[in-house]
Structure 1
Amino acid sequence: MAKLDQACAEKHEFLEERSKDDELLSNPIYGYWNQKTMSVKWPVITGFLIAALGQIWYGMLASFSSNVKWLMLFARFLTGTGVGNIAALRIYAATASTPQDRMRAISFGTGGCILGFSFGPVISSAFTPLGKDGITIFDTNLNMYNVVPYLMVFICLFACAIVYSFFEESYVGIVTKEEKEKEDIFVPKFDFTASLICIYLFMIVNMTSTNIEVMSSPLTTVMYDWNDSDSIFYNGIALALSSAITVAFNIAQGATRIGNIDKRKQMLLGLSFFLLYQLFMYPWDFYPGPLHFLPQGVETADTGGCYPVYAWCAETTRVPIFIYFFSFIAIFGVAFPFVETPSPTLFSEILGPRKQGNMQGLFSLGGSIAPVIASVSSTAIFKRSGYRYVIVMQTICLLFGISLILVFYKRLVPLKVEKKSTSSQ
């Protein structure tokens, strides 16, 4: 297990990025599979089985004596490839619902994903009392490191059984060939530019969200002198509360009149809240400062502060802690659902009542590649010049997104089927 701990410490960030890489590579594959076969059940089941295999491999890492980091990489590769099946689930939400119900379907689906991401760390922490030595059951050692992967294997297999036994596919959101002939209608080409704008909006909300979540621990370590454990603990609480707000709005979007608000206006609202977050989190000169440096020879495991190589700390101010928590919990919690939900909904409506496998695969690809870009770029910027320019970078991306909505406002509308007789005139 010591080898596993060392591998985690050396390669954690790299493995996280590789897992996202594998997910983004598999997204178009699941989309293409659906496009050709019109099946969601088997891509989803296959994805869960691959993810289960990856989790089995991950749980067995401690039994290997060499090349642990590369074996871990392979486990993450399998897991990332498997969970790319979210593309197939997104396709089904878009094509198995009518335009009137689509916002409801996608908002509830998004809320479910947020709950999963939020409760993942909670499940892991629940097994920490087992410790690194754990217990032995049927000659199998179960400890705080491997019990969660094994649990995920059962969850993946249970999901496969549920999908296989109860999932019945029905694509009411697609106009069939018979309907086209009977009603004398055809589905025109979709607005490709409008679809790309939706993909970009989905990308920047995932990029910004990733930056907020990934940067939370190192940011609070340098700003508030929290050690590693305190930073993880307090930010975990903040993220859980923020996720609760997000899920509440997801439910409201699906169950109340909030979901009927023009999706363009919802996205403008969400992006405005993201901009408000950047405004509050920017290290203004009137904030207290500068930041403190770590004492020589002391690591962040013991106390917080800036490493000596972070020269920018000497000129950077500290965001007041109540502003930080308010921004993380309230502003972020409200901003996320008002872009994350309406953007895929509008995207599916722009494509129209046709097969959407390939395009939805590209949409999911954009959402998966954004965290990779965000984690690499923000980490590099943070190390060199602090979080000031991370905020600037995010602000530019958000302003560009708002500009796209305003400039192409009239084109960001659902596709309408046309009468053949009308189009021929």
Structure 2
Amino acid sequence: MGNSCKKSQNPKIPDDVNDGLETLEEYRSRWRSVRVIYFTMFLMSLGFSIILTGIWPYLNKLDPKAGKEFMGLIVAANPLGQMIFSPLFGWWSNRIGSIRLPLLCSLALFTFASGLYSSLEMRPDHVKYWMLISRFLIGVSSANIAVCRSYLSAATRLSERTKAVSMVSLAQVLGFIVGPGLQTAVTPLGNDGYSFLRGSIVFNMYTACGWINVLMSIGNFIMFLPGLFEEHKIAAREIMIKQGKSSERETWKAIKPDYVSAWTLIVAFFVLVFNFVLLETLGTSLTMDQFAWSNHEALYYMGILMSVGAIVALATFVAINPLCKVFPEHYVLIWGGFSLMVLGRVLYIPWGDGPP
């Protein structure tokens, strides 16, 4: 009886994926690497969202003459850098057959750019352009998202992929939740905050978020070092066995991509991100104009509003996996995603002739 209990408690590969493709240790190592990817996606989302509500008051403090038009350029710099360099990071990763070096370089750049953003309190000449550069570099570093998603597809089996993609999306949403929440949490530091190293480092309600990014990215960098992160690309081997091919290269050559579906999803993702960035970027300056909020109030209340919205999105992502087991995935995308987004935008349209 005792022996049977011990046997039942011995760890083993789940039965649904226990087909001899990998050992228990390889299975564990593979999922450790996937969880590191989750954290990386969380950090990249955090790096984008953590300063969204603070860009306008921070810029207005550093350079009151910059204007909202230039703020739009600063916000656009991040996705522009990501758009330009995502294909390059993907090509680089494919070229060397590994994601480690591209991710280490991108995280090092993310650390530098976040530190640069938080060092703008030193008031260098043309400070608004330095802010623009820092946000562009953060966008360049965020191009590693393409590499992360690619690895996620390669490191998961077909039966695991929907769950893994949902979890990585959940990690991104958590980044959008934690970011504004952290901005709200550091608001009590005020405009002046604390100075260290004879004023070289200023820790206030605008710069604290950047320094938090620096610390977290250093931790993320360490996670990808040799000995801690090991790549496991099991998807090709799984397909190779199912199709009876003799090599992974032969397997990939036999696969014919569905370009129509791929581009449809790319455009859909563009629409989603466009809507998110547009509304969240204008939110702080819009509420300051409409409600006469101070910088402190705008950061505090917008952080709360964005966090509440992200919590709703979090619940939605948690529901994706069970919903996709009941309904076809494209129905979930259309009726559970885009239809609600369209309805939300319709409700933004002013109704009637009275003031809001």
Q: Same fold (TM over 0.5)?
A: yes
1:171 lines up with 2:236 in the alignment: no
Gaps of 5+ in 1: 292-317, 319-425
Q: Distance in 1 between matches of 2:287 and 2:133?
A: 32
Is the contact made by 1:134 and 1:141 (CA closer than 8 Å) also made in structure 2? no
Deviation sequence 1:196-226 (CA, Å, 0-9, x none):
111111111222233343344566678xx42
Q: Cα distance 1:9–1:149, how it changes in 2: closer, same or farther (>3 A)?
A: farther
Q: Distance in 2 between matches of 1:60 and 1:15?
A: 16
Q: Distance in 1 between matches of 2:130 and 2:301?
A: 32
Gaps of 5+ in 2: 1-57
Q: Does the residue aligned with 2:159 lie in a helix, a strand or coil?
A: coil
Alignment-derived partner of residue 88 in structure 1: 147
Deviation sequence 1:295-317 (CA, Å, 0-9, x none):
xxxxxxxxxxxxxxxxxxxxxxx
Alignment-derived partner of residue 324 in structure 1: none
Q: Which of 207, 218, 221 is equivalent to 1:146?
A: 207
Deviation sequence 1:245-302 (CA, Å, 0-9, x none):
2112222334x35456311111111112122223433334xx4x333xxxxxxxxxxx
Is the contact made by 2:166 and 2:317 (CA closer than 8 Å) also made in structure 1? yes
Alignment-derived partner of residue 158 in structure 1: 219
- TM-score, length basis structure 1: 0.60
**What is the CA distance between 1:194 and its match in structure 2?**
2.0
1:263 lines up with 2:324 in the alignment: no
Give the AA of the match of 1:199. I
Give the AA of the match of 1:76. R
**What is the CA distance between 1:52 and its match in structure 2?**
0.7
Alignment-derived partner of residue 102 in structure 1: 161
Alignment-derived partner of residue 48 in structure 2: none
Give the AA of the match of 1:204. V
1:69 lines up with 2:128 in the alignment: yes
**What is the CA distance between 1:85 and its match in structure 2?**
1.0
Q: Cα distance 1:158–1:260, how it changes in 2: closer, same or farther (>3 A)?
A: farther
Give the AA of the match of 2:339. S
Q: Does the residue aligned with 1:35 lie in a helix, a strand or coil?
A: helix
What is the number of equivalent residue pairs in this alignment? 286
State the identity as a percent.
Answer: 22
Give the AA of the match of 1:172. I
- TM-score, length basis structure 2: 0.70
Q: Cα distance 1:281–1:9, how it changes in 2: closer, same or farther (>3 A)?
A: closer
Q: Distance in 2 between matches of 1:58 and 1:84?
A: 18
Q: Distance in 2 between matches of 1:42 and 1:274?
A: 38
Alignment-derived partner of residue 261 in structure 2: 194
1:230-249 counterparts in 2 under 5 A?
A: 233-249=300-316
**What is the CA distance between 1:50 and its match in structure 2?**
0.4
Give the AA of the match of 1:80. G
